[in-house]
Amino acid sequence: MWTLRDLDFRVSCDRTMADSILHLARQAATIPGAPTISSPSNVVIQAQALFQILDHALRRKAGQQRVIGTLLGVRSDDGTEVEIRSAYGVPHDETEDQVIVGMEHNKSMYQLHRKASPKDVILGWYATSNELNNLSGLVQDFYSQQGSGTYPYPAVHLTVETTSATADIDVRTYISSPVGVMADKTTAGNCIFVPVPNEVRYSEVEKSALSIISQAKDSENRSVSLVNDMKTLEDSIVEVIDMLQRVSAYVNDVITGDKPGNTAIGKYLLNSVSLVPSLSADTLEKLFNSHLQDVLMVVYLANTVKTQLQLSSRLTPLV
């Protein structure tokens, strides 16, 4: 276990600058002649990592204010963009004057993760609270060290506010930057958390899954049944028709002068239309029916295999 004690002090900046907190933390030692590393200018967060953090927050101990963990992913060649692909929790215990982090647990989990994803490296750490204090500075210092952290790259600190079940998920990312002049490299130095832009990305498959999960919020038992392939296809067609109707209504309003035109929207629609292949209605209908027949054939074969497996499982005990 790794214990951080003998905290210095914290200075809270003027609240006219939202969430600007200045604190004192130990500055990681630098090696003479080491190459200059660019700080990340953008942080990409995969939906999977965000779900892992939320799951860790839901499983926290009773009375525990926040949980922390390690962020894993990849960096760009120049280090200006990092992609957080996964995360795992790290046990810790904190009071007003000290924080204890499970170093061995963190090391073991990282070694196991590397076996499944050898390209992933430690990018930083997360906390399920937007509060930044001197304890946050000490944990940030731990993840910035050589060997156990991200050195020589700066560690990314990700905060996810999970105190409210009704409010939107508030995701913020920071890096720490030194402030002031250090008289000695081995002594503590001032540093400040600097916000870094971030974005949450997800694939089309994840988008469909999230769309289905979001329907459970309107149900009393917070559950939703999965639909079959044909129902999914029908819902997709209805959604496309609805979007086309909204676009058509907007274009008609601009033409008639009911709404002012927007150059950016016009260019976007023009680019979208140019990507559509020039096909007649009959040709498009034939292609759609052909694709629909392929889908029905796959569904038929899948149901046939399922029936054969069920029949085989029932006949086996009789033999």
pLDDT score at 38: 67
What's phi and psi for 192, nearest 5 deg? -135, 145
- Separation of alpha carbons 52 and 86, rounded Å: 7
262-296 pLDDT, tens digit per residue, is 888 888 888 888 877 777 778 878 888 888 888 88
Whether the pLDDT of residue 26 is over 50: the answer is no
3-class SS at 17?
coil
169-226 pLDDT, tens digit per residue, is 889 999 887 665 554 444 343 568 889 999 988 877 777 777 777 777 777 777 777 7
CB 26 within 8 A of CB 8: no
How many residues can be counted in the chain? 319
Whether the pLDDT of residue 319 is over 60: the answer is no
Q: Which two tokens stand for residue 188?
A: 């503590």
pLDDT score at 30: 43
CB 88 within 8 A of CB 109: yes
Whether the pLDDT of residue 32 is over 60: the answer is no
Query: C-alpha distances in angstroms, 257 versus 142, 222, 250, 261?
Result: 61, 45, 11, 8
- Separation of alpha carbons 305 and 311, rounded Å: 10
**Across the chain, what does the average pLDDT equal?**
77
Query: C-alpha distances in angstroms, 97 versus 9, 67, 92, 135, 157?
Result: 10, 17, 14, 8, 21
Whether the pLDDT of residue 24 is over 60: the answer is no
Please, which pLDDT band fits residue 7 given cuts at 50, 70 and 90? very low
318 or 230: which leads in pLDDT: 230
- Separation of alpha carbons 155 and 39, rounded Å: 9
Residue recorded with tokens 């499944």:
116
Q: Which two tokens stand for residue 176?
A: 């720490």
- Separation of alpha carbons 36 and 41, rounded Å: 15
